[in-house]
Chain A
């Protein structure tokens, strides 16, 4: 690959790195407690004392911004990883054993893929109440199918390869073949899908949190902050603009990295591949 094509991807990596470092070291970097209410200093514009101003309860915006990406990034990571595990398991089983197993699993997969993702997510998070658990369930239910499908195709392709047949002749068990040879061989596509799904998960969490169904106040979270500041945007637009920009930069970096990974690993799938 040409060096010039790598530039956006590398920018994405740097951006994501900065965001992650800021989130991890938020307790050290934050100038004050993100929960500390100060009713004498509400809705202050950016100043030397509060570099990004304060919100309606007088909490320091900079501290809240630094903490604000933590919960959604963690939940998105956990949910995507869980979806990937489930998807890989089902995809591999389905393709490797074939026959009846494949057919049954494919019917289940089709049912889940036929579900309207966003609507279902709103319903699950709404009914189960807003907690980390319901958010995770909502995300996993709607995103494991992509992994299962991609892994299944990949394993079907691998199954016909000579080296797998050779391994069978040598007497390797199915479990060993799957663990040591099939799974390591399908890294590329899965990594690409992981990156795209990660971005989608963050967007979904953001939308749910904005609706009041995801991360709950007073937890500092970018989308909750945007939602909280909706009534005050005339007097202090920075309360909406800054958290939005942070989320935008996070999503941009993940998208750029996803594009780079796609260029590296698989040139065939379309650029919107992996999006449902």
Chain B
């Protein structure tokens, strides 16, 4: 296990470097001259070559790309993602300030996905090809085909505007997170449920199930204590990548429900062409995502000795 952990940790390094390069390059491919734009923002109307040159030096744009990248990366390691072009606030400070909102939203969403995804999947598998299974499959197919933003708007119309049951924008206690997390969770619940179902079905075909059945163990017990733990492994791996999708997808949901999270921060930055924020967002999300997948992989290795020996199961 220690060897596997070490190997897995080392394998993360090139991925993080790659992400940082891509995040940095996003700043380079921007249309227009960043120095000229920065001057424009400072309120300089007459842009002279001299001013431009000074600004370039100030922003470090006169150096070759590699040096620029290294300088940027050095700062990023220390937790400094630069300053916003617009209001000159620290990007990392703002990300951390907004992080709790996004994390709360993702947390509730993950909770819904885990509970209902597993429940739907196990329930569906337990009643294979009977009416409950058919109904569950139908529901999951429907959930998968709803575009999240549309579902969000419909939920706002129904529960917020017509029934006036739940708040639909801003943060006002736990109830403000109900609609956003349901919206964000719906498609993921369906996908997790389907994976859970097929993973259970795969276990059903194995010998130990027959043996357990022959020993006369009750069906629910076989289902919950024999098949479920084994069927969980691929689902856990999937949930990891699911969390990455949820963190990214929260941008859309945060805009619809006007939640002040990281996602709405970057969207505001995009509209204002505030590149350091976008770079910081990509790097931050990338690192978070890598850490999550690392954690999930280690968890799987802990649960499944086979993976430690043979790489990916």
Q: Taking beta carbons and an 8 Å cutoff, which residues of A are in contact with B?
A: 8, 107-108, 110-112, 114-124, 126-129, 203, 206-207, 210-213, 223, 226, 230, 233-234, 237, 240-241, 244, 247-249, 251-252, 255-256, 270-272, 275-276
**CB of B30, distance to nearest CB on chain A (Å):** 6
15 sampled A-B residue pairs with Cβ under 8 A: A111-B15, A114-B19, A114-B293, A115-B286, A119-B251, A120-B248, A122-B267, A126-B278, A206-B147, A233-B153, A237-B157, A247-B150, A270-B199, A270-B234, A275-B191
Contact flag A270-B281 (CB < 8 Å), given A206-B147, A255-B145, A276-B241: no
Number of A-B contacts (CB under 8 A): 159
Contacts of A112 in B (CB 8 A): 18
Provide the bound-state CA to CA distance between A118 and B269, in Å: 16
Provide the bound-state CA to CA distance between A230 and B26, in Å: 31
Contacts of B308 in A (CB 8 A): none
CB-nearest residue of chain B relative to A240?
Answer: B153
Mostly helix, strand, loop or mixed at chain B's interface? helix
Are B147 and A127 neighbours in the complex by a CB distance under 8 Å? Answer: no
The contact of A122 among B18, B30, B270, B293, by CB within 8 Å, is: B270
Q: Does B11 interact with chain A (Cβ within 8 Å)? A: yes
Mostly helix, strand, loop or mixed at chain A's interface? helix
Provide the bound-state CA to CA distance between A123 and B288, in Å: 16
Interface residues in B225-265 (C-beta closer than 8 Å to A): 234, 238, 241, 244-245, 247-249, 251-252, 255
Contacts of B120 in A (CB 8 A): none
Provide the bound-state CA to CA distance between A115 and B266, in Å: 17
The 9 residue pairs across chains A and B that have the minimum distance between CB atoms: A118-B248, A111-B18, A126-B270, A272-B195, A244-B150, A114-B15, A252-B145, A251-B145, A119-B285
Interface residues in B114-147 (C-beta closer than 8 Å to A): 141-142, 144-147
Provide the bound-state CA to CA distance between A210 and B256, in Å: 10
Are B144 and A251 neighbours in the complex by a CB distance under 8 Å? Answer: yes
